[in-house]
Amino acid sequence: MAEHRIERVGRLLQEKLGALIVEGKIKDPRVGSFLSITRVEASRDLVYANVYVSSYKTQEGLAKGIAGLQNAAGFIQSCLASQIRLRVTPKLRFFEDSGIREGFEMIKKIEDLTGNAGGE
């Protein structure tokens, strides 16, 4: 039962974090709407939450975005505390997830292969 609660909290944090980014409430210029929260893994005691961030932009742009999120972590945590009713709001740690960018690259490679094969 506790595992389900941890998963629900992770999904809720993911939803609220995504909304903060899309709505432009994080004023750090490195954080733009090109960032996507792919998943949030909360610790069993809900003291920490690992937030995985992805982007279709370059590796450098993603790294800057993560640095901006980490810089604004206190502000983000206070926003989440006002929106979510938890005894303790998890301390956020941001990590790179290159899944979206790798997906775009894979689609591009497939299109290149099918385009070249069809042209011969």
Exposed, middle or buried, 71 (CB in 10 Å: 0-12/13-18/19+)? middle
pLDDT at 95: 94
Listed by start position, the domains of the chain span 2-119
Give residue 102's pLDDT: 77
Residues 6+ apart with CB under 8 A from 46: 6, 9, 86, 87, 88, 90
Which residues of the chain have a pLDDT value below 50? 1, 118-120
How confident is the model at residue 77, as a pLDDT? 94
Fold entry, domain 2-119: GMP Synthetase; Chain A, domain 3 (3.30.300)
pLDDT tens readout for residues 34-56: 888 999 999 999 999 999 998 87
Give CA–CA dist 5/115, Å, rounded.
47
* pLDDT on residue 118: 47
In a 13 Å sphere around the CA of 51, the CA atoms on its Cβ side amount to 26
Q: Cβ atoms within 10 A of the Cβ of 52, count? A: 19
